[in-house]
Structure 1
Amino acid sequence: MFRLIACCLFFLTLPAPAHGDSDARPVDHFTLREAADFSKQVERELAERGAYIALVFRSGRPRDDLPDGVRYTHAAFWVYGPVTEFDGSQGHGYAVYNLYHGQADPTRSYLAQDWPLDFMRGDAVGEVGVIIPSEAMQIRLLDVLASDQYDNLHQPAYSLLSNPSDLRYQNCTEFMLDVIAAAAWLTDDRTRIKINLDAYFAPTLVRLGWWQRLTAGWFDPRIRLDDQASGPVEIASFTSIADFMLAFELAEESFEIQAGFGE
């Protein structure tokens, strides 16, 4: 059985802190039918490209609300395999697994499974980013996700803007990156993974003023910056993960899909 994980990343809206998109709650901008059509559109695209695993990113906030260089707020591994339909019959399709921060305690994360429709109901822009791992990486990712390494790679301490080279916190895109690193370097030793990422992964930089650094946590307990050095805040994002995977031949391609609502 494929054990697949995804994670949810909420970003700081500049110049003021943002609340981020919620845990897979519907966005009013699109109807349920539009979200369903978009999810099927993405599934068809992934299947046509022969992707057993794909990294899919969507934004729960308008692009104008996101920092420069950040296009998406949520990332998930989508895996193709057997699924049970609503009528109990067996078919094949993509399942989506997520890492979210808690509602009662937003500084702790938990793992949850949902489906492409749930994923798209959180979309606010009608566009997703996709990374297709190389064939070898898809096999390695399946091996990692089906093993006990899954639990070893999860750090429940949650930060909205976690540093991908630091052990203290994790959010969805950092967890995704850790899983990729574990598959690439054949280890679930998080200390070793962080050392390697610090050497080879170029993070996305989010620039915060001194006042934003000082006060961000007052407005949102998910924003913890003690894992960040002075200077720009370092995070993992669609762009930086895609660049990393393509540079080291861990991915075949990255691209974006726009919703064809009017087609």
Structure 2
Amino acid sequence: MRYLIACCLFIVSAATPAWADSDARPIDHFTLREAADFSKQVERELAQRGAYIALVFRSGRPRDALPDGVRYTHGAFWVYGPVTEADGSQGHGYAVYNLYHGQDDPTTSYLAQDWPLDFMRGDVVGEVGVIIPSEEMQIRLLDVIASDQYDALHQPEYSLLSNPADLRFQNCTEFLLDVVAAGAWLTDDRARIKINLDAYFPPTRVELGWWERLTAGWFDPRIRLDDQGNGPVNIASFSSISDFMLTFDLADESFEIQADPSD
């Protein structure tokens, strides 16, 4: 009996790759003050570089729990503009535009706007990845986010391991990529976007064994692989989105920011 229990626990652990996550719930790792300090550090860095919009990525899982080629589990747009402070005064800062999976039904997703502190409370490694679009792309992305195109690009059917060249599912990083593609190709036609991405976007490839493919969805309904072929699992990640944007001059720079313990 003890062997059977141990075996079942191993299967649950091996079949549920929890490293790809778009979870809105805060993860207790840093104190609230530490998360607030880190979020302000990132805001200052973006402002110093003149970024009106940036793609920012954080990890809700330790690095040793992530596969090769994947450094972050959640990404969002940080958009600079007027904000209302807690005391009602007006200022300027970054708002965060996310895709999150549902809590009651994790196989569906929703779009949400929150704040840098909310974003950073989900970080467990003290490091974020940043992509700063080119000046032209910043203008285009701001136009997309401010229009009906933004909602039109959302596919509510959610998968942790969605294929960026397929229409059936979407997660947070694929949504970022779809919005970037809409700005680059000036279209919100998702079918056209997927055709173009299949031709021009080299995805991050994750190796899953046959047993993981067979059993992953048993233990985590967010893992749906119907949009994947029989080879490596193709996903969008910080590194692959960064490479794509830099290759086609859609971004000026890509870098990582570590939390400053003295901040």
TM value normalised by structure 1: 0.93
SS of 2:158's partner is: coil
Q: 1:14 to 1:71 in 2, by over 3 A?
A: farther
Aligned to 1:6: none
Which structure 2 residues correspond to residues 100-119 of structure 1 after superposition, within 5 A? 100-119=100-119
Q: How many pairs are equivalent? A: 251
1:208 aligns with 2:196: no
Which structure 2 residues correspond to residues 213-228 of structure 1 after superposition, within 5 A? 213-228=213-228
Q: Tell me, in whole angstroms, the C-alpha distance in 2 between the residues paired with 1:199 and 1:114.
A: 34
Q: Tell me, in whole angstroms, the C-alpha distance in 1 between the residues paired with 2:114 and 2:145.
A: 16
SS of 1:82's partner is: strand
CA contact (8 A) 1:56 1:75 kept: yes
Aligned to 2:86: 86
Identity %: 84
CA contact (8 A) 1:56 1:129 kept: yes
SS of 1:163's partner is: coil
Which structure 2 residues correspond to residues 53-202 of structure 1 after superposition, within 5 A? 53-202=53-202
CA contact (8 A) 2:168 2:227 kept: yes
Give the unaligned 5+ runs of structure 1: 1-12
Q: 1:184 to 1:89 in 2, by over 3 A?
A: same
1:17 aligns with 2:3: no
CA contact (8 A) 2:163 2:227 kept: yes
TM value normalised by structure 2: 0.93
CA contact (8 A) 1:75 1:173 kept: yes
Displaced runs of 4 or more, over 6 A? none
> Counterpart amino acid of 1:17?
T
Q: Tell me, in whole angstroms, the C-alpha distance in 2 between the residues paired with 1:104 and 1:69.
A: 30
Give the unaligned 5+ runs of structure 2: 1-11
RMSD over equivalenced CA pairs, Å: 1.4
